[in-house]
Each structure stands twice: as structure tokens, then as C-alpha cells.
Amino acid sequence: MASVKYKWPQNVPGEFYVDECCLDHHCCAEIAPDHFRRIDDGGHLYVYRQPSNPEERARCMAALDTCPMAAIGCDGVPPKLFSLSWWRRILR
Ligand code: SF4
């Protein structure tokens, strides 16, 4: 199971990420090419764009489900959690 603790620093902030278990075999980028990309000098993939609608999220989930190393996580902190309204709700 992927871990936020071991995610690659190249992942853009958000729900989905790739962690250090990635084997660099490119399957996720074939399933969701608008979201997963190989780092230029090789070695692993990372999330370069988070999904912004249900269809894109479904593609990212399909990539997660087919990753043989369970290197894709979907429990990263979405950027919207840092919004002012979210903090107001938490601090009440
Ligand atoms: S499917 Fe998993 S192991 Fe394969 S390249 Fe993508 S993140 Fe890495």
C-alpha cells in the first residue's frame, strides 16, 4: 500500500501520488497519461496533474487498481483542505 510518507517529491500536491515502490514500468501512464508521467532521468513515475473531474478521477483510480506494486496512493491531502473555510470548520 502506497504511503504519503514515501511519496516522491515530484508529485504535485493533492489526493493522488506515486511513492518509492514504483518500478518504472509505465503502466499507469498508459492508463492515465494526463496525470502520470515518467521522471526525465528515469527510475520512477509521478503525478504531474491531479484529476479535476469524476472521469479523470476514475482514470487515476484505474491506474491505482492496476499498479502491481501498490505504489499509487489516493490519500494525499487535497489542496482544498487548506482553504480558509476548512480551517474555520475545524477550529469551531
Ligand atoms: S503502475 Fe505502479 S509500479 Fe508501474 S509505473 Fe505506475 S506507479 Fe510505478
Is the CB of 80 within 6 Å of ligand 1? no
Give the Å distance between the CA of 39 and the centre of ligand 1: 12
Chain CA centroid to CA 66, Å: 14
The CB density around residue 2, as the number of other CB atoms within 10 Å, is 23
Q: What gap in Å lies between CA 45 and CA 31, rounded to an integer?
A: 13
Q: What is the pLDDT of residue 83?
A: 53
**In sequence order, what are the residues at sequence separation of 6 or more whose Cβ sits closer than 8 angstroms to the Cβ of residue 55?**
none
Is the CB of 70 within 6 Å of ligand 1? no
**In sequence order, what are the residues at sequence separation of 6 or more whose Cβ sits closer than 8 angstroms to the Cβ of residue 65?**
none
pTM greater than 0.75 (yes/no): yes
Residue-range domains of the chain with CATH: 4-91 (3.30.70.20)
Q: What gap in Å lies between CA 58 and CA 87, rounded to an integer?
A: 28
Closest atom, ligand 1, to C-alpha of 36 = 6
Q: What is the pLDDT of residue 85?
A: 55
pLDDT digits (tens, 9 = 90+) for 19-40: 999 999 899 999 999 999 999 8
pLDDT digits (tens, 9 = 90+) for 55-67: 999 999 999 999 9
Give the Å distance between the CA of 49 and the centre of ligand 1: 16
